[in-house]
Amino acid sequence: MFYGFNIILSVVVIVLLLITFNAIKILREYQRGVIFTLGRFSKVKGPGLIFVIPVLQQMVRVDLRVVTMDVPSQDVISRDNVSVKVNAVLYFRVVAPEKAIIQVERYLEATSQLAQTTLRAVLGKHELDEMLSEREKLNLDIQQILDAQTDSWGIKVTNVEIKHIDLNESMVRAIARQAEAERERRAKVIHAEGERQAAQALMEAAEILAAQPSAMQLRYLQTLTQVAGDKSSTLVFPIPVDLLSSLMGKKA
């Protein structure tokens, strides 16, 4: 009889040890435990050592660290009917563990699907040039929309970054031709502006010389000196009549 009592006592001790072992949980600093008592939400525990009543209570672990999620490449048609492939990366974290478990099933998958549809919806409202030149603004728009929609899930979207916008070869060639045409246009505008400024300067110089005949004569003589400096053997140049008249007048 004493031997049987020892066996029963040993079994009871082993069962109690197993229950105690299963009841004690250790959560890391970045983890929280969502506790359900008889199926109803009770509280959020952690981090550190916590106790869960076996059978009566269940615990679901939730990671609070920032999650880096790749948004798969999406086919997007821009507002100007250009088909592109766009992929992005999403940064978010759980701020309310009980909502992430109770309000949505598999919050990681739900956030990924929402990010894909939001990416297509937002980019489809913009033209291709805006996608290429205003990426920061588009990132902010997508982040704000996702953050508002996932707030009820206890998720905070901290950042969204569009990584690549892939175009087909024909569109790449069209953009290259457009860029080349833009460069040529700018070059012509700069050349025309230079011609206009040069013409304006010449007009102002002509007005000054016309107002001072002596200055015109000096300028003419300076031009003759420059021409005489060339290595040509014969020089033929016209002499203004007014210059001859002034010279003849001084000689007389």
pLDDT per residue, tens digit, the chain (252 aa), is 556 666 777 777 776 777 777 788 899 999 999 999 999 999 999 899 999 988 899 999 999 999 999 999 999 988 888 889 999 999 999 999 999 999 999 999 999 999 999 999 999 999 888 888 899 999 999 999 999 999 999 999 999 999 988 887 766 566 666 666 777 788 788 888 888 888 888 787 777 766 666 666 666 666 666 666 665 555 555 555 555 555 555 444
φ, ψ for residue 232, nearest 5 deg: -70, 145
* φ and ψ of 24, to 5 deg: -90, 125
Tell me the β-bridge partners of 88.
Answer: 71, 162
At 64 the pLDDT is 96
E-assigned strands of the chain? 24-27, 31-37, 40-45, 48-51, 57-63, 67-77, 83-94, 155-166
Q: How far is CA 247 from CA 139, 203, 218, 220, in A?
A: 80, 27, 13, 14
Q: Are 95 and 152 in contact (CB under 8 A)?
A: no
pLDDT at 252: 47
Give every CB contact of residue 209 below 8 A, 6+ residues apart in sequence: 215, 216, 219
Q: pTM score > 0.85 for this model?
A: no
